[in-house]
Structure 1
């Protein structure tokens, strides 16, 4: 009868533990990938910030319409990178004001006011471009847009409130 060496038994236990750990990690990665694919299908990603972002309206426009809106904005000289940079600067100013000691309410109000003004300006531009695009659509295209918009809003209503 062959004797078992003590080192071999320990080695088999170590290999088995490594195998179990590897299998667990692979299953976790597969779960994340599959979960991401399922979530992507149910909730497609939002358009990039700083682009023609019209909230839920953006999602209801076709990709061709979004492209036309983007081209119209660029034709007017809108610079999306500059808009993103300005929004980041507003956030940085607000963060600095919130972290300041002693509390400087005027700085917080100024940062929020600057952000509000930029946001309102972007909303006005977006609304004007959207109306121009809707005006250029055929009645059938507008009806299809209205149907997609209803679907988008229905999905927003089904989302549970954030905690």
Structure 2
């Protein structure tokens, strides 16, 4: 092999190795920032890890919202039509949050089966449905205007 070709081959191999290492380090660093989406029925099936940051979505079950009298604590349930999931939230709820409407919560699954949410997103537009929420809500007519979330 000609020395110039050998030098180029070594340079290309080093660049590929460094690029692969950089992608590996970035992926490793981001693994703690990923929020996996689960439907309430996945919680019932035991597919959701405890104490890891997750997202869950569904319709707020009518009559399930319980507000604390002396703090901001709110307990409510969300459903995907197959199972209900209890959520505990200790901040101010969004203005569009309502019973019978869609919500997506971000938080951690606690050992008692509730989700301790640190963020609640409420339905903001009847025409937009996040793909992962639409899949989990397919066929559930109990949420606001049919299955629209």
Under a length normalisation based on structure 1, what TM-score does the superposition of the two structures give? 0.32
Larger Rg belongs to: 1
Higher helix proportion, which one? 1
Q: Normalized per residue, which structure has more strand?
A: 2
